[in-house]
Amino acid sequence: MANSADVLNHLLGHPPKSNYPIAYNFLVPNLKGLQNFLKAKEDSTSHNEDPASITSPQDPNSPPTPPPTPKRDGDEEPAPITSTQDPNEMPSSNTDINDPVQPAKSTSSAPTTEISLFTAATEAFSKANTNCTIAESLEKCRAIVSQAKKHGIRVRGYVSVALGCPYEGPNVPPSKVAEITASLLEMGVDEVSVADTTGMGTARKTQELLKGLFAAGISSKDLALHFHDTFGQALVNVVVGLEHGIRAFDSSVGGLGGCPFSKGATGNVSTEDLVHCLHSLGVRTGVDVEKMARIGKWISEELGKPNDSRAGKAILARLSER
């Protein structure tokens, strides 16, 4: 199996053609991981005459949107803020969700790279997943972000078990998630993906979580949502997020993934299901869902895993009848 450096070199040396920008994300668990990433990037640029940019289209050194003043008791609930120009632009929260929006094509198809780092919303999961406390994990994140910014690298943070923990139960305080998310943004993380790692999230809990994040002064355009589909609620939660102004959602082709620390947890919401849902709402993502369904079938077979995308399998069945 190819290691991360080999994968990075191949992707940047042989970028696929695309009308929209592609950002390749690499998990960096510690400073050593960042050093390995930088070395692989350096090796890649030395072998390619026209190397891909290591930065994202957004300036990685630009700070996250300053949080507004937190809402006081009795104040009117702040309206969700939508993301600005995004490659897969969706309707803003003050427009009809059914109005189709066409994403603008990128003027460059060169891929970009970014790194991701993890922390958790509960102490028990943090110790199981990263072998350290939440405070210790945040200090590690701070050191990684500091070095990454010196090299102009975009950083994405993740807060695991935001809607339920396999050790501490389903009721994770939104205020704790907001506190950790704010800490990541304040240290310079460009975007925080708030993750339902166990799939325990429901529409009501997702709504309460988002209200807690907004009440803490966190902008919706600094957030992404990450839902596992353990209980079949991922798409429901996506729609709740969409209605609250979130415009970035994680997914995995074929519904691949899982969580080794949460018994029974399935993978992320499948990309095919997510795209089908968004298209049904009038959103133009720029994604060919039929091609995505074929990719889901192929990668599932390659890995010897079941294809967990309902939309993907339905699309393939329809295509086979043509």
Pick the catalytic residue: 141, 165, 259, 277? 259
The closest alpha carbon to 288, from 1, 18, 5, belongs to 18
Q: Is 259 a catalytic residue?
A: yes
The closest alpha carbon to 92, from 261, 216, 246, belongs to 246
Rounded to whole angstroms, the Cα distance separating 44 from 30 reads 21
Please tell me the number of Cα atoms within 13 Å of 183 on its side-chain side.
Answer: 21
Judged by phi (left if over 0) then psi (alpha if -120 to 50, else beta), residue 136 lies in: alpha
**Beta-strand pair 223-227/249-250:** parallel
φ and ψ of 36, to 5 deg: -65, -40
CB contact at 8 A, 280 and 254: no
CB contact at 8 A, 257 and 198: no
Residues labelled as active-site residues: 259
